Amino acid sequence: MADSISTPTGIPSAGIPSAGNTPIAVTIAGSDSSGGAGIQADLKTFSALGVYGASVITALTAQNTLGVTAIHDAPPDFIAQQMEAVFSDLDVRAVKIGMLSRPATIATVAEGLARLGARHVVLDPVMVAASGARLLEDAAIDTLKSRLLPLADLVTPNLPEAAALLDAPVAEGENETRAQGERLLALGAKAVLMKGGHGTGAESVDLLVTPAGVVRLPAPRHVTRNTHGTGCTLSSAIASGLAKGEDLATAVAAAKAYITGAIAAADRLHVGRGHGPVHHFYALWPSS
């Protein structure tokens, strides 16, 4: 592992694809009935960034901005059928993986990714909703590490998720964050984006940890209660960039800029009475 930490000098634009070259990404995740996270957030992000989005639904949730009241898991064989239908017809160039609540679901998705030759897999290890509801069974953590981490081109844990994957305390400071990212690399992930949204200070600093070194991605920290779906949105924004042919560092930097803007504009929306969503279409909707 190289010792240097670099900071990008500029944030590239997400861009819009030219006619006749339609980038396609698929989200494999749970549905959020309130529209702020999960499948719905992923599809909004794909659309906002000029990517055609397909979906494989792993679970239905009854939830709103106040919390999750019920989860109905899709049968593993039906998840497999959805994957087969999408990949057999569409030229899928990137995959975002979100909520996979049970070991059987994780195993099914892992088998499908390997069988179907999935490219550019971004794994968001969703464990807890913004409201605090648990979305991943404890028994599923080991399956996630053994079956999916080795298939992921990028894993995007926040600090509590990284700690849970490593059975370690939550990292404090960038040195500990970097060390945990390197430990996740050792478990088989090709690259790790350690997200700093749960940190403190004026900046939210993400660390892109790869075998070649570490890229530091700072952004102003915006104080808002409307953070529902931030992790889903960031990971699907990265998948969008990869689907359009961007390299990993460029896709991550552009996604960081996009989610920062979506959080900064979140209070322009008035959705629900709890943790509202980020503003996926802040660059497209009138500011008024």
Q: Please state which of the ranges 56-60, 200-204, 256-260 shows the lowest mean pLDDT.
A: 200-204
pLDDT reported for residue 199: 66
**């990137």: which residue's tokens?**
94
* Greater model confidence, 271 or 131: 271
Rounded to 10°, the helix 159-166/173-186 angle is 50
Catalytic residues: 195, 227, 229-232
Distance of CA 23 to the CA centre of its chain: 18
Over residues 183-194, the mean pLDDT reads: 96
Q: Which pTM value belongs to this model?
A: 0.91
CA atoms within 13 A on the CB side of 104: 9
Mean pLDDT of the chain: 90
pLDDT tens digits, one per residue of 83-107: 999 999 999 999 999 999 899 999 9
Give the CATH architecture of domain 22-268.
Answer: 3-Layer(aba) Sandwich (3.40)
Reported as a single tens digit per residue, the pLDDT across 112-165 is 999 999 999 999 998 765 555 556 777 788 899 999 999 999 999 999 999 989
Please report, as a single letter, which amino acid is at residue 205.
V
43: alpha, beta or left? (left if phi > 0; alpha if psi -120 to 50): alpha
Span between the terminal Cα atoms of the chain, in Å: 48
pLDDT surpassing 60 at residue 2: no
Tracing tokens 């900046």 back to the chain, one arrives at: 203
What is the per-residue pLDDT across 15-39, written as a single tens digit (0 to 9) for each? 444 445 899 999 999 999 999 999 9
Of the chain, the percentage scoring pLDDT greater than 70 comes to 89
For the chain, which residues make up each domain, given as ranges?
A: 22-268
